[in-house]
Amino acid sequence: MTPSDLIPNSPDDISSEWLTAVLTAAGYETTISSLRIRPIGTGQMASSLRVTPVYTANNDAPRSVVVKIASSDPDSRQAGARGAYLKEVRFYQELAHTLPVATPRSFWADIDTETNNFVIVLEDMQPAEQGDQIAGCGPASVYLAATNIAGLHAPHWCDHGLFDLSWLTAPPAERHQGHAEVKAIVAMVTPGFIDRHRDRLTPTHISHLEWFAESLDTWLLNDGGRFALTHGDHRVDNLLFSNTTEAPRPVTVVDWQTIAVRNPVADISYLLGTSVDPATRREIENGVVQAYHQALGERGVDNYDFDMCFDDYRNQTPHALLLTVLGSMLTVQTDRGDDMFMAMLHRSSQQMTDLGVR
């Protein structure tokens, strides 16, 4: 059996034989007699499972792995089928190992492009802990995340070769069409988002949402001509933090379904705008953007001064509205999800106001 013989459609499809084939392909000589499978988190678009194998003999194979597969919810699966599943698989197949950004090792990644069933078998980052989007995080975590993500942005800063990756982005000539399509989707779902959450929205929140639905395509073009690989959903829920000083990776980025080519400082705006309370963000945002800008320079990005970087940071703050509205309306609705999206919206809307964006 080879890993490509079966792409799991549900946890029931993950067998000892299949995982043995995965780990064998990854270079481990091992046989697995049984598995323990447990869900991790409440993913909005895909399902993540911690799989703990029982080996027939002691070996150096991983004690557990994380297996990511398509969601069992039809709406979430449909949202992933629009390109998110393919992007994450291709990221791990083609890019992850070439970039100095901390992300889990992939032992296997594959997708059936006809059914959109996919699987990614990842290094289990235990005892690192996932951040909590609702609670937010402290300044130290934000600094770690901001400097780490520079390892994604810097290597392909304004690299036109990115447009050769058809799974990643449309050619520049088709940019306007793509923006118009995204705008149409956001315009379609924004009224429903407002109706769903109206009792938790202020007039300012509604004003920001309605403005964004009307001007999304224009805003996307206001990027200063700068582009790079961009995570797109770089917030605390998609970060794993290690509390031990000996950890080789104090922060690790997961969930690469939104990777794109655009102004990459959106990742910093989104991180600061959604992952800390407004008072903390006001205190640290200048320092965080400075640390990020310095990390870019250390990785070879030049002709990009701090003032340009901070302008990009300010201009990219509406990115949070894009992910909040689409994430809420195109995936399965949960109580935690509603609380999470409201925390993100409230914080990022205040960020936009504070920085004079709207």
SS3 for the chain is CCHHHCCCCCHHHCCHHHHHHHHHHCCCCCCEEEEEEEEECCCCCEEEEEEEEEECCCCCCCCCEEEEEECCCHHHHHHHHHHHHHHHHHHHHHHHHHCCCCCCCEEEEEECCCCCCEEEEEECCCCCEECCCCCCCCHHHHHHHHHHHHHHHHHHCCCHHHHHCCCCCCCHHHHHHHHHHHHHHHHHHHHHHHHHHHHHCCHHHHHHHHHHHHHHHHHHHCCCCCCEEECCCCCHHHEEECCCCCCCCCEEECCCCCCEEECCCHHHHHHHHHHCCHHHHHHHHHHHHHHHHHHHHHCCCCCCCHHHHHHHHHHCCCHHHHHHHHHHHCCCCCHHHHHHHHHHHHHHHHHHHHCCCC
Q: Which residues pair with 121 in a beta bridge?
A: 67, 108
Per-residue pLDDT tens for 36-65?
Answer: 999 987 666 789 999 999 999 878 999 999
Cα–Cα dist 246/242, whole Å: 9
Residues 163 and 107 in one domain: no
Mean confidence (pLDDT) of the chain = 94
> Is residue 275 domain-shared with residue 294, that is, in the same domain?
yes
Instruction: Provide the 10 A C-beta neighbour count for residue 205.
Output: 20
Residues 48 and 80 in one domain: yes
pLDDT surpassing 60 at residue 246: no
In contact, 123 and 48? CB cutoff 8 Å: no
Asked if 270 contacts 323 with a C-beta cutoff of 8 angstroms, the reply is yes
- What is the pTM for the complete model shown? 0.94
Label the pairing between strands 129-130 and 260-262.
Answer: unpaired
Mean pLDDT of 278-294: 98
Per the CB < 8 A criterion, the answer to whether 217 and 183 are in contact is yes
Alpha-carbon distance of 344 to 138, in angstroms, equals 15
Residue 308 has pLDDT above 90, yes or no: yes
pLDDT of 235 above 90: yes
Mean pLDDT, rounded, for 104-119: 94
CATH of the domain at 34: 3.30.200.20
Nearest C-alpha neighbor of 157 from the set 251, 80, 261: 261
Given 84, 100, 123, the domain boundary residue is: 123
Token digits of residue 163: 């447009």
Strands 65-70 and 46-55, bridge-based pairing: antiparallel
Burial of 331 (0-12, 13-18, 19+ CB in 10 A): buried
The domain that holds 322 is classified in CATH as 3.90.1200.10
The half-sphere exposure of 63 on its side-chain side, counting CA atoms within 13 A, is 3
Tokens of 200: 């938790």
pLDDT at 245 over 60: no
Together in a domain, 74 and 148? no
Into how many domains does the chain fold?
Answer: 2
Whole-number Cα distances in Å, 186 to 82, 214, 231: 14, 9, 20
CA dist 35 and 62 (Å) reads: 13
Peptide bond into 264 cis (omega under 30): no
Q: What is the pLDDT of residues 139-191, one digit of tens each?
A: 999 999 999 999 999 999 999 999 999 999 999 889 889 899 999 999 999 99
Whether residues 185 and 329 share a domain: the answer is yes
Claim to verify: residue 24 and residue 133 sit in the same structural domain: no
Local confidence band at 244 (pLDDT 50, 70, 90 cut-offs): low
Verify that 194 and 338 share a domain, yes or no: yes
Together in a domain, 66 and 178: no
Residues 166 and 119 in one domain: no
pLDDT for 66-102, tens place per residue? 999 998 888 788 878 889 999 999 999 999 999 999 9
Query: Is the pLDDT confidence value at 288 over 70?
Result: yes
Range of the domain at 49: 3-123
Domain termination residue (choose one: 90, 123, 156): 123
Residue appearing with tokens 């605390």: 236
Q: 279 and 168 share a domain?
A: yes
Last residue of a domain, one of 98, 123, 148: 123
Tell me: do 137 and 13 sit in the same domain.
no
The answer on 224 and 109 residing in a single domain is: no
